[in-house]
Amino acid sequence: MNCKEVRTQAELDTALAAGECPHLMGDGYFIVRAGSHVEARGSSHVVARGSSHVEAWESSHVEAWESSHVVARGSSHVVARESSHVVARGSSHVEAWESSHVEARGSSHVEARGSSHVEAWESSHVEAWESSQTQLFGGATSEAKGAFCVTTVHGKRAQAIGGVIVAVPDIDTPELFIEWFGIETKKVRGKLVAYLYKAVDDQYFSDYGANYSPGSTPEAKDWDGGKNRCGGGLHLSPSPRHAQRYASEATKFLRCPVLVSEIGVIHQDGVSDKVKVKRVIAPGCVEVDVDGNAVAA
């Protein structure tokens, strides 16, 4: 897509009509309609509506409404309203209202109000008001100004003050992982078996070349006993939709029986949504749909 610098609303409308991706420059005021994709730079002010997508840079200011999506970078400022979605990075500042959703990373700052939902990572900071809900990961911090704000703290480094605080321990054992995600288990010949999932391509291969064809029992030749975070095993998830996050172009999904004793938790601050295992055991992989329902052979 072609990119073009624009400094007025008229130039923006012309660029969008021509199928270009405008760079909004200077200190102009712009209204971005549904379905549009723009990048805001400088000290520009943008009002995003409908399903529009805005990438905000430098000291730009964005007001996000309805189902618009904003990626905030640099020292940009975003006011998120209704069901808008904002990903905040760098030192950006976000005011989240109503039912908006914010993912805050880096050293970004979020003010959460209404029934907004915030996921804060790294060194980001959240000020929570009213009935907002915040999830803290890594070294993120929050301060609840209202008694009915709920903050869920994942791991030991994140810190929360005020409101209702739910402390989630590090999910660092197979047993905690199974309990946290509600994974199905059962005893098979005296051994505890868990059922995990893999997302693969049309030929049942993972991105790293392992074959998960129905009935197969793949095994990791580089199994490290679950010690290292990366590699060293087959990586599986608690549901097909979790698995899909790691293989966005996957077309098939497998339900995989594994021994709980051979699960290595991929440890991080809080919760990881995948583990690694030594092998898939008999009777092997079973094809399912994205909701986990068995697919007829």
pLDDT single digits (tens) 91-130: 888 878 778 888 888 788 888 888 888 888 888 899 998 8
Which uninterrupted H or E stretch holds 193? Answer: strand 191-200
Give 143-200 pLDDT, tens digit per residue: 998 899 999 998 888 999 999 999 988 788 999 999 999 999 999 999 999 999 999 9
Give 164's contacts (C-beta < 8 A, 6+ positions apart): 144, 147, 148, 149, 150, 151
As a whole number, mean pLDDT of residues 79-84 equals 76
Q: How far is CA 55 from CA 25, 63, 166, in A?
A: 12, 12, 33
19 pLDDT above the threshold of 70: yes
Give 38-67 pLDDT, tens digit per residue: 666 666 666 666 676 676 766 777 767 667
Q: Alpha helix locations (H) across the chain?
A: 9-17, 174-181, 240-244
| pLDDT score, position 205 | 96
| pLDDT score, position 181 | 92
Tokens at 203, concatenated: 């030929």
Tokens at 226, concatenated: 């679950």
Measured CA to CA, the distance from residue 222 to residue 60 in angstroms comes to 48
- Range of 41-50, 72-81, 196-205, 263-272 with top mean pLDDT: 196-205
Residue among 274, 270, 144, 297 nearest 207 (CA)? 274
| pLDDT score, position 192 | 98
In three-state secondary structure terms, 174 is helix
| pLDDT score, position 47 | 65
